[in-house]
Amino acid sequence: MDPAGLLPGDVLADVLRRLMPRSLAACRSVCKEWCAVVDAHRLLRKDLLPLSLAGIFVVYRFVDGEHFPPAFLSRPSVVGKIQGNLGYLDDVHNDWSHMTGHCNGLLLLWGGVANPATQQWASLPRHPDRTPTKGFIKYDFLAYDPMVSPHFEVFFMQCVRRRYGNRYENEAELVPANPNSEWPPSPYTMSAFSSKTWRWEERSFIREGMAPRSIDPKLLPLMKDVLSHDAVYWRGRLYVYNIFFVIRLDLEDKKYRVIELPPTINEARGDILPHLGKSEKGVYYGFVHGDWCKLQIWFLNESIDHTEWMLKHEMDLKPLLENFPWEHGYSSWFVQGVRDHNDETVDKEKPEWDSDNDDATTATATEVSVKENFPGYISTILGFHPYKEIIFLGTSHTRVMAYHLSSSKVEDLGCLPLDGDDWIKSSVVYTPCWMESSLIANS
């Protein structure tokens, strides 16, 4: 019998509250009883957990081939608290200039993991075999929940190769050797890194549910200008977008399920801009199609024995974009990083945007008139607000808007520092975690 089970809940809570947040998070994962005590007595300080939105990290691809740390478009209130340009990683700048993911306060970069809030970082051991398979490429995906454990995991997975700009990374390697073969297989084996053991290990997942459909290479041209594979970590499951479907890994049960994309995705005409993300109720999938003005948002409704996509929002943004304030000037958010904006560009007398306040908007898609000369389009989906049904959109004029799904209202957040033919390679919506994780600083 567990001796702690003999203690009344209040006594056990008094014992646990003497621990540091990192140790307390580890105790929370010992058993359901301890977890219930920690949660019931609110022992973990919420101000240390990733419960608020700080900003958006944006990684650029420059035409001159240079690599820079990401830019950080953030609320003015976090400027000075979070070093958005990752300047504390200057000594390892060349290895850390590529950002590939984010999960609950930790950033996944080439070569390691960093926490911008606490300025912790760790270089990971050398990856396992990166030998490419015809038609596929391997990516890293991060899983971390400080409410469950101070440890994180990185999964090195084989994914379908994507389109690169207006061409493919390697035309000869575009299509799998047998395009009609079943993929992913069962078991689905990959390399996984755990900060608890600090080493890479092989991990296999058994498929549950229907087998994946065969990969149709004819659909690949629909996917344009998307280099990084989106992933969502939600309640112990890792959801990975793989062009044709979403792969859901259950990390505890070691099973995986193939989830088909929303039914209208293959009916969209022309190139599309897809994005898999996490928002208020769970996993969301959004894409812009047509003339890059038509937006669809789907929510993944999951139950014990049923999984389906539900259309959450559909809107033609063209009227909104025709009346959007394209002129560069006032910015409600601040940009740190490459080509920093001067602090004076932020109007500090205007209240900072609050996602809870639907009145803090500039226009709605239903109340504006149509103009003859259409000035812009949606160039990228930057991500979803993690706690509100809001999507962040980048436009052809480098401005960023926050779009409320419930009211179709928008907020102009400011202008990203893009010049000429530079373009956005990837982005992550960042929620800071102030609780020290299992990162170990390395030089």
User: Residues 6 or more apart from 106 whose CB is under 8 A from it?
Assistant: 113, 114, 115, 142, 144, 152, 433, 437, 439
Architecture of the CATH domain 3-44: Up-down Bundle (1.20)
pLDDT tens digits, one per residue of 344-356? 344 444 445 555 4
Percent of the chain with pLDDT over 90: 29
Q: Which region among 136-140, 268-272, 375-379 has the lowest average model confidence (pLDDT)?
A: 268-272
**Distance (Å, whole) CA 300 – CA 261:** 10
Two tokens at 90? 């200057």
Two tokens, residue 304: 């014990």
- Summarised one tens digit per residue, pLDDT across range 14-72 is 888 788 776 777 787 778 788 888 777 667 777 788 889 999 998 876 555 666 678 89
Higher pLDDT, 443 or 141: 141
- Distance between CA 385 and CA 428 in Å, rounded? 10
State CA 328 to chain mean position distance: 27
The secondary structure of residue 168, as a DSSP letter, is E
Strand, helix or coil for residue 365: coil
13-27, 321-335, 413-427: which range is least confident on average?
321-335
pLDDT mean over 154-179 = 56
320 versus 384: which is more confidently predicted?
384
| Structure confidence at residue 2 (pLDDT) | 58
Average pLDDT over residues 168-173: 40
41-45, 101-105, 189-193, 204-208: range with lowest mean pLDDT: 41-45
Task: Give ranges for CATH 1.20.1280 in the chain.
Answer: 3-44
243 closest CA partner among 159, 314, 184, 172? 159
SS3 164: strand
Q: Phi, psi at residue 14, to the nearest 5°?
A: -65, -35
Inform me whether the pLDDT recorded for 271 exceeds 70.
no
Work out the average pLDDT over 139-162: 86
The DSSP line for 47-100 is GGSS-S--EEEEEEE-TT----PPEEEE-GGGBTTB-TT-GGGGGGGGGSS-EE
Output the pTM of the full model. 0.82
Which band of pLDDT confidence, cut at 50, 70 and 90, is reported for residue 301?
very high
- DSSP secondary-structure letter at 380? E
Measured CA to CA in angstroms, residue 420 lies from 62, 106, 273, 284, 396 at distances of 9, 31, 21, 32, 12
Q: Among 18-27, 147-156, 256-265, 294-303, which stretch is predicted with the lowest mean pLDDT?
A: 18-27
What are the b/e assignments for 67-99, b being 16+ CB within 10 Å?
bebbbbbbbbebbeebbbbbeebeebeeebbbb
Best CA proximity match to 432, nearest among 93, 140, 46: 46
Q: What is the mean pLDDT of residues 301-315?
A: 89
